[in-house]
Amino acid sequence: MIGTQSSAIDTTKVSVSSEVDLFAANPALFPVLQQGARHMIELYDHFPRIARLVAAQQKWLLTQAAYALHLQRDPADPLSGITAARLLDVIAATNLASRNTATAFLAELRAYKLIRDVTGSPSKRSRPLEPTETSHEAMTLWFRGQLRSLDLIDQGDRVARLESNPDIFRYAQPLAAKRLIADKAWREPPVSISCFVWTEYGGLILDDFISRIANIEPEDGCYWVDDLRFSELSSHYSLSRTHVRRLFARAEAQGSLGWQDRNGNRNRIWATASFVEDYKRWQSVKFCALEWAYNEAVRSIAQGAF
């Protein structure tokens, strides 16, 4: 049963550097990452409330952890599933969030009707929660999109196998979530990336920026984005221009990107090759974890392990 899996984080099960390096060096990776970024924008357009909520690294990790707890719920135990205490137990080894942060996050999910009380719980002190249909749809589409990216890289058939057997998702998501939470290389990305993703809504802006890069190989040591306007980003993602401007100002201060002043038009932006390499390697950590979790799920299903 899925519900019998342990929710504890094993910090020894993290990415292997050589494996991640090999994945990041694949010449097919960057176009696939751009396609994946566009898929994330599509998910935002379909689920704007969820996408805005998890567009910062801490909340993304908390969401994955909470959903893993849901999938590991034991139907025979009415008190199992998502609770603030269990969520804190999952992340305790990583110092990802405090008890107050975990509790406030679940309250936010409840307020937005993204989770709800599990019906029939005998306890009023520790009421387990479950995702609503909207949250489930968003998570399954996200997972499918990640497998599609892996398929594009090696012409695999993961999505087809997932569609024929949804248990792959139910087993693999908790495995991938725990591995990514445990892995400092994913949890704490390079400074060039963290200045976006450890800021509220920064993940949205980073995905948008990556999707707009025109050249898949550096030109004169840079990648280029033409005609990027803060007003457009602000309108699309319902953010203030000040917030958008601040995100780019932080990246500019670190030397990751900057503006080419062409006839006074500051809408053309360059990004350093090292910035894109940081992004590629960080994303490779995630994909290696997902590939491992997918393979473990397929193997366990074949062996009748759950």
Q: What is the pLDDT of residue 80?
A: 80
Q: Between 277 and 83, whose confidence is greater?
A: 277
**pLDDT (tens digit per residue) in 150-185:** 999 999 999 999 999 999 999 999 999 999 999 999
Residue 81 confidence (pLDDT)? 87
Amino acid at 104: A
Mean pLDDT throughout 187-203? 96
Instruction: Kindly list the distances between the CA atom of residue 34 and the CA atoms of 29, 61, 198, 205, in Å, as whole numbers in the listed order.
Output: 9, 22, 20, 13
Q: What does the pLDDT look like over 29-76, one tens digit per residue?
A: 999 999 999 999 999 999 999 999 999 999 999 999 999 999 998 877
- 201 confidence band (pLDDT: 50, 70, 90): very high
**Is residue 159 a contact partner of residue 151, using CB atoms and an 8 Å limit?**
yes
Q: Does pLDDT of 4 surpass 50?
A: no
List pLDDT tens digits, range 239-295.
999 999 999 999 999 999 999 875 555 678 999 999 999 999 999 999 999 999 999
* Average pLDDT taken over every residue of the chain: 91
Give me the pLDDT at residue 118, please. 87
Q: Give me the pLDDT at residue 63, please.
A: 96
pLDDT at residue 130 greater than cutoff 60: yes
What pLDDT is recorded for position 1? 38
Q: How many CA atoms lie within 13 A of 266 on its CB side?
A: 6
Q: Is the pTM of this model over 0.85?
A: yes
- Tell me if residue 260 falls in helix, strand or coil: strand
Burial class (CB in 10 A: 0-12, 13-18, 19+), 236: middle
Place of tokens 């305790």: 92
Tell me the C-alpha distance between 81 and 215, whole Å.
Answer: 45
Residue 235: predicted pLDDT: 97
- Rounded distance between C-alpha atoms, residue 196 and residue 205, angstroms: 8
* Cβ-proximal residues to 289 (8 Å cutoff; 6+ apart), any chain: 15, 176, 179, 180, 183, 186
C-alpha 195/C-alpha 57 separation (Å) is 10
Task: Give the pLDDT score at 3.
Answer: 44
